[in-house]
Structure 1
Amino acid sequence: MASSGSPAPCGCLCRSPASLAWLGTTLLLLADWVLLRAVLPRIASLLVPAALPLLRVWVVGLGRWAGLWLGARGVLRATVGTKSESGGVQGWMAALEPLAAALGLALPGLASFRELGSWGVPRDADSTRLLHWGGRLDAFVLSYAAALPAATLWHKLRSLWVHGGHGDSGDPVRRLLGCLGSEIRRLPLVLGLLILSCLGEMAIPFFTGRLTDWILQDGTATAFTRNITLMSVLTIASAVLEFVGDGVYNGTMGRVHSRLQAHVFQAVLRQETEFFQQNQTGAITSRVTEDTSTLSESLSEKLNLLLWYLVRGLCLLGLMLWGSLSLTLVTLVALPLLFLLPKKLGKRYKVLAAQVQESLAKSSQVAIEVLSAMPTVRSFANEEGEAQKFRQKQQEMKTLNQKEALAYAVDLWTTSISGMLLKVGILYTGGQLVTSGAVSSGSLVSFVLYQIQFTTAVQVLLSTYPSVQKAVGSSDKIFEYLDRIPCCPASGVLTPSNLEGLVEFQDVSFAYPNRPDVLVLQGLTFTLRPGEVTALVGPNGSGKSTVAALLQNLYQPAGGKLLLDGKPLPQYEHRYLHRQVAAVGQEPQLFGRSFRENIAYGLIQEPSTEEITAAAMESGAHSFISELPQGYNTEAGEAGSQLSGGQRQAVALARALIRKPRVLILDDATSALDANSQLRVEQLLYESPERGCRSVLLITQHLSLVERADHILFMEGGTICEEGNHQQLMRQRGRYWTMVQVPGGVAAPE
């Protein structure tokens, strides 16, 4: 609100930027009517000889353009500070400059078409006076009727490319074209083929009009045959060019689809661990697969239709202008009815389409979550509950689909009615022109056929554009993934040839991103030394698994330092670090691939069969893998579903051992192993010849493994409460001693 001391008029204008904009536009319109319409023709008559009437029209048109452009710039400058207060006003005011261009060039352009259309035709000396109709009231109104649709179309197309334009889809559309990469070089070829094909397709209405005149004039059979032959040749050539253009375009879009999906998936894989905890797997999968497929479908099909009918419409418009200026003006005057109203309805359709996509992602997430946890669902007898939940999501999506279908139907119905009204107007006006002798019957037939095709092209454009908008809406999340910068530090460059494996936690503190106020680790300080096994024990929730996650560089400490051979973990190259630091969890994740691929997973150089077998023998996995019909080439099943928990742990342990890591993390990795396999792991930790080459962090609930550890750390509340070997801690009779006395031994990790 303006201060009480400010002048009233100024305060009024400041409070009403829309009033200022409307006032400036009204003054500009009055100036065009009172000054430019009357003064410019007189000035042009003084500057340009009467023998050059067309030049006079162009002088007047260019002068009008310059005057209106300067006035539009002045109005825009006067309201430039009101954008934040009146975004809608700024939107339509941005069309003033293209409107000035359209108003200035409309009459000169029409006059030029008239001159070209009558080239070589004898005319009386007075016929050139028709070129000077710019000062008449009907011509003034018609110029606005023709210029408004042209300016609106130009402004809308421009908003798709200019950053920060009124069209909110501008940046995504440019990004979509950017996805073409090197394939964009094929677009000029496709566009050229489209233009030639469209021009060839115009042969049928053109020769139909000529044949109509020939029949009425009792023409010869030779002319008839010649016209039919030429029309057939052009039509066949048009079909061939269209086929080639579609082939090149669809092949290009197929490659773009594969590239886009690969880029999105790669961008997702780069994200930090918190990203996958904050976003559900089903939602991410939906973006990578369904949204990219929808986007690619729109690029390959809808955008193809959009380009085809846009080029076709422009070619038809040119031929219509050539055939009859009056009938073309009738068509242009009807364009706002064909364009503006469906545009408003299309906004509602776009919003509903985005809501349907979101609802589909949520519904898919419910199904994925339930199907991946069927044993739990069945264990709690909640099949009906999950089915009810899925039906509820489907019902929500059904309601949205009905609304979307209704919006689409209303949009299509409005466009159809507008097209029919336009056809009636064309036939009425054309009949009067034929009666007066202004055009021939054949020219009217050709124009009607052109106009029908032009109306169809406009209808297809209006019905296809919302689909492209829908793809643009679904691309927002895709580009959000592509543009998202991971919160984790970038991969370092350290790849030392000799790594000892000395790990130091120096006053490390940590809190999970979703609970930043709850410190899981507080001032944690300890060291893992090469050749030693350090056991980490403590009650559930004490932070043991968090220590393992930090050591794998899955998270970054909130405070303190985590060093490997004296260097912070992020300074090491990503692949190198995870070759040297290997971890096995309580519930390891296997992939639906062969055992050979699972064990060699992530290695740059494919290991030999002997190396894979040796790692499996160390972990105890060789015994059951060798009994399978296809041995190491046997599929492990989705997520290792064909294996028991102990077998999965054995395969995961082999996957870690084949890397010959300098730091080995066992996070309750032996909980499901049988007695023989546990004994094998115990020998691996304490009796293996490679023991002296690696540091081991052992988190386990088996007391037999902990007793032999070189160093035992007892954690509680995110801090180290006690440390020492088994004998020392038992003599202290502290918390470790109390935990050992409890049936079941050492507590499991959280």
Structure 2
Amino acid sequence: MESPGGEKSNNSDGAVDPQQPENQPGFKDFVRIFHYADRLSMFLNILAFTCAIASGVALPLMTIVFGGFASKFAAFAGGSTDTGSFQSIVNEYVLWFIYLFVGRFVVTLTANLAITVSGIRTTRALRQAYFEHLLRTEIWYYDTAKDSSPAVQISTNATRINQGIAEKLVLVIQGLAMFFSSFIVAIAVQWKLALITLSVVPAMFVAIGICLTIDAPIEAKIAQIYSNGAALAQEALSSIKTVQAFSSQDGMIEKYDEYLAEAHEHAKKKLIPYGIMSGTIYFCIYAGNALAFWQGYRMFLSGEIDAVGSVFTVVFCTVIASTSINLFFPQIPAITSAIGAAAEFFRIMDKPSELDPLADSGLKPDKCIGAIEVENVSFSYPSRPTAQVLQGLSLSIPAGKTTALVGASGSGKSTMVGLLERWYVPTEGCITVDGTDITKLNTKWLRSQISLVQQEPVLFQGTIFQNVARGFLDSQKDLPYEEQRRIVQEACKSSYAHDFVQALPQGYSTYLGERGGTLSGGQKQRIAIARSIVSDPTILLLDEATSALDPYAERVVQDALNHVSSSRTTVMIAHRLSTVKNADNIAVVSNGRIVEQGTHEELIALQGNYAALVKAQNLHGSQERSQKEFSLEETGLSIAAESPLFDPTGDEKQELSDKSKSTDKRSIWGILFLILREQKSIYRHLFVIAIGCILAAGTHPGQAILFSKLIEVFTPNGEPKSGSANFYALMFFVIALGNLVAYTIVGGLCIMISQAVTRNYRSELFRRIINMDIEFFDQRENTSGALASNLLTVPNNIQELISVNIFVLLILIISLFASCGLALGYGWKLALVMIFAGLPILMGAAFIQLRLEAKMNDNNEARFSDSASLAVEAVSAIRTVSSLTLESDLLTEYSQNLRGILRRSMKTMITATTIHALAQSVDFLVMALGFWYGSRLMSSLEYTTEQFFVVFMSVLLAGQGAAQFLAGAGSITRAKSAGTFLLDLRDKVPRIRVTDENKDKGPDGKGGIALDNVEFSYPGRMSPVIQGASIQIPSGQFVAFVGHSGCGKSTLISLLERYYDPTSGEIRLGDQNIQNFSPKLYRAQMSLVQQEPVLFQGTVMENIAQGALSEPTEDEIHEAAKQANAYDFIISLPQGFNTPSGKQGTSFSGGQRQRIALARALIRRPKLLLLDEATSALDTQSERIVQAALDKVGKMDGRTTIAVAHRLSTIRDADVIYVFGDGKIIEVGTHTELQQQRGLYWQMCLAQSLDKSVEKGPEEI
């Protein structure tokens, strides 16, 4: 629990000390992952590990059978065993092979199924724990933390961890079990020879240990860089309209590429360690074979070994140990990647939360009355600790009364909301609720007593009903659905949202996109208001709650708010003073202090700051009617006709979703060859790698020949063959040297080219996505979180394949064909029987397994994408989440999203693991058949010893290679899915783009804008939003669009920005259709200031400079800030123009963000200035100054200005005002002309009049 002053909370980095040393990633992080396994998962892990060990032991056990057979065969070849006895012995050994087949099939199936289920369950628990930590983390961490969008990491890091603790881990355990049991068997058979052979093992594991020690920190650093890049991408994609409006795609791509370049530089450090490790491992194993062969023959001659089977078993065990390396070595990068991912998870999870919203600590009074006392509170934001926002502020907020805070933008009004919500704690003073310091109250209880409507409303993906129901208290969540729906509808009626919701095709079941992007700003704000009042809160906080509403809607909603406020404590923050005039107490805040207090009438009588603000906002005074006597219906308009921006419903949503799905007709080989064809820069490296692969692939055929010679050398039928033995031992050593060279090349260069290739694809993915049409981002599956996650996982999956995996698989394929060719050349009869007994099964198993795993992988990725989107959305809107106390609900939803994955994929998983187990075990049946049939061929003297053993060993090693190829099926299917995503994205060519035909075509800056009978419907909706709009805007005019919320004003701005093209009709600039222009050159002529200003991570200077067409000077940036009335507050900051804006500009108030956004627009010096509620977040004084600046710059250089406004004071001097209703133009004229018409515009002006005591005459308007 913090002290009442909360000093501890306000260090420079929130709860996190940026200088705090961080532990280096290591194996401890890998072990820690298993702390998240529950009892069932731990049991499954133990079962899987045990079965994996048993599966690995099966092949070394086979060498005992094989060795025994070799001894019997030597005796038969030497004439000491007759044919009948030999056949009987062979049949015995054949049965042992069948037993081994059954045993290995069962344990392999069990191991793979158990580890897969356990891996999903463990990573699910880890995902949930990580997401829970993000929700528990205090708000100020997100303002100041250097971790970029930690929610984006959930999907990609969890996927890497799952591979490392499941599929890859069981292969490592199986391979290591095979490796060590080979030597254990060898020791049991001939301990002295085995120990001599084992002398090479320490060198091998020293190489592995050194590599992992070097690689884990590098991998963790690379993972962090990539996640930072993904955070940049997520920020850009979530604000894609701003990015495209300022043609910032190239700048964002450049920044993203800088992250990729940094990661690539770190990845280069992996080349030498991996090369040395790869070469050393394979050299040691094959050098051990040479040593065993050489020493074994010497011991045979000296009588220490009396049977060839002992030598054969020991040497063959070293061969099995060498093949086991191909099983576990390719998995090492996945293990180190999992360690890096886990370290990144734990680095964030180990940061303590000082304001835990889910903690049970703190007082929970039985009742909340709502009396608030703010006592001498001072406060500085953690990101700017030297700049005091509040300075000794004291304020009494009586229970059941309405208190309003007004004042200049940035004066500290919204900061009070953050303190009341306990997002922050004061540096001095305290805040009490009902006499209790809020730092002593339970955080969740406190927030459950408060409802907040923010200046920039945040809605979530889901239906309208679900969004409003987010405001339910725990007790309301248990009500029957019908009762919940009634409560939601009542809240929507009170917030003036019910009519437009009912008018939608799906009504309250209408799906809202990311950030509620399918609704207009006013519609979103009304839904947010409904959400805030649905719980009937004790305390209501309204932070510019009606700023996005048109005047009439504002008046109706304000009446509703006044009604619901009558019985509760209400704190209102407003710039539109018409919304606070009925407040019980109005406090004027200036520079963090309260300078005036009183009722509206009392403050007017003072003729001070408040009276000046009121006078500035009056539009119309002496009207002959009461403000309450007009109604929208007099104009013939219906609010129910308001249209959402985009409404994919029913079949239309399914159609959009279907379009995004892969056709599943792309082959992995086609994707792989496409990758290789495109990456011409790595061809010289591929040539060198190909040589290395061919060298390495010759190992198996060479071994087969040498093993046949081993039998000949040890067959006791003549003089000692020391010369031959030494020569063949030397050949084993030559093979070892060949592998040293081959795998050093392959291991090192594979890391390098995989990083280079995936760097290119990461860049291409981001470039393609960020340049997509806006309607691409409107689709339900293309949320910024899902796309940012794909930017990490898709290249990672491609990299997983084309790193060591693909080239080890290539070596196995070459070896497979070479071994089969050798077998056919030496003895075609036995070769054909063994090949066609085993390879069709293996190939069929490979095909089926790849299909099944691809299907399962695609399904799981889609489901994980939903959970990733939920996490990213929740963290991006963390203030809304905390205010609504949604943490527990979101954790439940997240958990439910993840829980269905295992259940729905179980059938496919069982089938795939069964096929895999069969493929891993079938070589025992092939060996049984080979022994049985080969023995008959030898008994009949049709085959020589050399023929049999060359054929048998060739096919055996080929089968082992094929089985190991199947072990990499997971990498192949993930790469196929990733490649399909990339190629599908390439097929989606944006319609609004720069082409060869238009790249040099841009406006000449002359001529006006003309809309000729423009109609428009959003994709997925048939009903038009704009109907037959025809507008002429001469160059240099100031034109305004007004009308009720959702009537199509902002849609016209979208059409002018070319976010979309008209359904029919055309828009011309000068005498050219704007569709003929390059979008980049066209947008270079205009600037946009949106209703909800978007800032990006970076400094204030960088954000303003983003709007410039070329690199701006510091003076130009300062001038733009002055024009936007932002200069004074910027230079008052400790870091001035170098002040970080924070994530989504959270370091600043709404008004400050809007002024910075305005400066960004003005630095562009546009010919066309588009203002979509450009001053809606400004206080009256700032608004007038900014408006004067806009009036001034609007007339510079013949600039045309088009403004969308609800605040009619900002557009009364417009040359022409267009009044919209139901997508049509219903009134046109100047302010005076429209006043005289006494239509809708006149009524809107009337709604914004404040007080008759300060009214102006009509001539002053």
Settle same-fold status: TM greater than 0.5.
yes
Partner of 2:389: 520
| SS of structure 2 residue aligned to 1:626 | helix
| SS of structure 2 residue aligned to 1:378 | helix
Partner of 1:550: 419
Partner of 1:169: 26
Structure 2 distance, partners of 1:484, 1:354, is 17
Partner of 1:724: 598
Indicate if the aligned counterparts of 1:709 and 1:726 stay in contact, CA closer than 8 A: yes
Structure 2 distance, partners of 1:374, 1:200, is 57
Partner of 1:636: 512
Partner of 2:558: 682
Q: Any residues of structure 2 matched to 1:330-341 within 5 Å, and which?
A: 330-341=196-207
Instruction: State the 1:352 CA deviation.
Output: 3.1
Instruction: State the 1:236 CA deviation.
Output: 2.5
Indicate if the aligned counterparts of 2:115 and 2:167 stay in contact, CA closer than 8 A: no
Instruction: State the 1:622 CA deviation.
Output: 0.7
Instruction: Read off the aligned partner of 1:295 and give its amino acid letter.
Output: I
Match of 1:747 among 1176, 1179, 1182: 1179
Partner of 2:398: 529
Structure 1 distance, partners of 2:397, 2:45, is 60
Q: Cα distance 1:573–1:397, how it changes in 2: closer, same or farther (>3 A)?
A: same
1:509 to 2:343 alignment: no
Match of 1:711 among 585, 601, 622: 585
Bigger shift: residues 172-181 or 211-220: 172-181
Indicate if the aligned counterparts of 2:471 and 2:531 stay in contact, CA closer than 8 A: no
Match of 1:611 among 472, 487, 490: 487
1:208 to 2:66 alignment: yes
Instruction: Read off the aligned partner of 2:26 and give its amino acid letter.
Output: S
Match of 1:277 among 135, 143, 150: 143
Indicate if the aligned counterparts of 2:543 and 2:574 stay in contact, CA closer than 8 A: yes
Structure 2 distance, partners of 1:346, 1:260, is 23
Bigger shift: residues 313-322 or 533-542: 313-322
Q: Any residues of structure 2 matched to 1:248-259 within 5 Å, and which?
A: 248-259=114-125
Indicate if the aligned counterparts of 1:646 and 1:672 stay in contact, CA closer than 8 A: yes
Indicate if the aligned counterparts of 1:667 and 1:749 stay in contact, CA closer than 8 A: no
Match of 1:217 among 46, 57, 75: 75
Partner of 1:561: 430
Match of 2:451 among 582, 587, 599: 582
Instruction: Read off the aligned partner of 1:471 and give its amino acid letter.
Output: A
1:432-457 CA deviation, whole Å, 9 max, x = no partner?
22233322211111111111222444
1:441 to 2:292 alignment: no
Match of 2:50 among 192, 200, 213: 192
Q: Cα distance 1:305–1:394, how it changes in 2: closer, same or farther (>3 A)?
A: same
Structure 2 distance, partners of 1:597, 1:540, is 33
Indicate if the aligned counterparts of 1:491 and 1:570 stay in contact, CA closer than 8 A: no
Structure 1 distance, partners of 2:113, 2:388, is 60
Structure 2 distance, partners of 1:285, 1:744, is 46
Instruction: State the 1:304 CA deviation.
Output: 1.6
Bigger shift: residues 710-719 or 379-388: 379-388
Q: How many percent of aligned residue pairs carry the same amino acid?
A: 26
TM-score normalised over the length of structure 1: 0.73
Structure 1 distance, partners of 2:505, 2:146, is 37
Instruction: Read off the aligned partner of 2:58 and give its amino acid letter.
Output: G
Q: Cα distance 1:749–1:284, how it changes in 2: closer, same or farther (>3 A)?
A: farther
Instruction: State the 1:585 CA deviation.
Output: 0.9
Match of 1:454 among 316, 321, 329: 321
Instruction: Read off the aligned partner of 1:177 and give its amino acid letter.
Output: F
Instruction: State the 1:252 CA deviation.
Output: 1.4
| SS of structure 1 residue aligned to 2:575 | coil
Partner of 1:318: 184
Bigger shift: residues 416-425 or 668-677: 416-425
Indicate if the aligned counterparts of 1:360 and 1:397 stay in contact, CA closer than 8 A: yes
1:219-272 CA deviation, whole Å, 9 max, x = no partner?
412111111112222232222222112211221111112111111101111000
Structure 1 distance, partners of 2:38, 2:157, is 19
Q: Any residues of structure 2 matched to 1:340-419 within 5 Å, and which?
A: 340-404=206-270, 407-419=273-285
Partner of 1:482: 349
Q: Cα distance 1:349–1:477, how it changes in 2: closer, same or farther (>3 A)?
A: closer
Q: Higher relative contact order at CA 8 Å, sep ≥6: structure 1 or structure 2? A: 2
Q: Any residues of structure 2 matched to 1:56-75 within 5 Å, and which?
A: none
Structure 1 distance, partners of 2:535, 2:595, is 33
Bigger shift: residues 350-359 or 258-267: 350-359
Instruction: State the 1:727 CA deviation.
Output: 2.1
Bigger shift: residues 711-720 or 482-491: 482-491
Structure 2 distance, partners of 1:576, 1:188, is 43
Instruction: State the 1:600 CA deviation.
Output: 0.7
Instruction: State the 1:647 CA deviation.
Output: 0.6
Bigger shift: residues 476-485 or 526-535: 476-485
Bigger shift: residues 389-398 or 666-675: 389-398
1:550-584 CA deviation, whole Å, 9 max, x = no partner?
11221112221211111222444444333321010
Q: Cα distance 1:188–1:284, how it changes in 2: closer, same or farther (>3 A)?
A: closer
Instruction: State the 1:642 CA deviation.
Output: 0.8
Instruction: State the 1:702 CA deviation.
Output: 1.5
Partner of 2:573: 699
Instruction: State the 1:613 CA deviation.
Output: 0.3
Q: Cα distance 1:390–1:691, how it changes in 2: closer, same or farther (>3 A)?
A: closer
Structure 1 distance, partners of 2:518, 2:526, is 14
User: Which has the larger share of helix?
Assistant: 1
| SS of structure 1 residue aligned to 2:403 | strand
Instruction: State the 1:353 CA deviation.
Output: 2.0
Structure 2 distance, partners of 1:474, 1:624, is 47
Match of 1:659 among 521, 535, 547: 535
Q: Any residues of structure 2 matched to 1:589-600 within 5 Å, and which?
A: 589-600=458-469
Partner of 1:108: none
Structure 2 distance, partners of 1:394, 1:482, is 25
Structure 2 distance, partners of 1:549, 1:577, is 13
Indicate if the aligned counterparts of 1:503 and 1:563 stay in contact, CA closer than 8 A: yes
Structure 2 distance, partners of 1:231, 1:707, is 92
Q: Any residues of structure 2 matched to 1:26-175 within 5 Å, and which?
A: 169=26, 171-175=28-32
Q: Cα distance 1:602–1:451, how it changes in 2: closer, same or farther (>3 A)?
A: farther
Partner of 1:45: none
| SS of structure 1 residue aligned to 2:430 | strand
Bigger shift: residues 621-630 or 340-349: 340-349
1:293 to 2:159 alignment: yes
Partner of 1:737: 611
| SS of structure 2 residue aligned to 1:556 | coil
Partner of 1:179: 36
Structure 2 distance, partners of 1:741, 1:280, is 45
Instruction: Read off the aligned partner of 1:544 and give its amino acid letter.
Output: K
Indicate if the aligned counterparts of 1:544 and 1:749 stay in contact, CA closer than 8 A: no
Q: Aligned-pair RMSD on alpha carbons?
A: 2.6
Indicate if the aligned counterparts of 1:505 and 1:561 stay in contact, CA closer than 8 A: yes
TM-score normalised over the length of structure 2: 0.44
Structure 1 distance, partners of 2:271, 2:534, is 57
Structure 1 distance, partners of 2:263, 2:24, is 28
Structure 1 distance, partners of 2:25, 2:154, is 23
Instruction: Read off the aligned partner of 1:444 and give its amino acid letter.
Output: V
Structure 1 distance, partners of 2:618, 2:295, is 97
| SS of structure 1 residue aligned to 2:596 | strand
Q: Cα distance 1:368–1:749, how it changes in 2: closer, same or farther (>3 A)?
A: farther
Indicate if the aligned counterparts of 1:616 and 1:622 stay in contact, CA closer than 8 A: yes
1:476-521 CA deviation, whole Å, 9 max, x = no partner?
2312333332122645454444322111111112111122222211
Match of 2:336 among 459, 464, 469: 469
Instruction: State the 1:175 CA deviation.
Output: 1.6
Structure 2 distance, partners of 1:452, 1:308, is 16
Instruction: Read off the aligned partner of 2:369 and give its amino acid letter.
Output: E
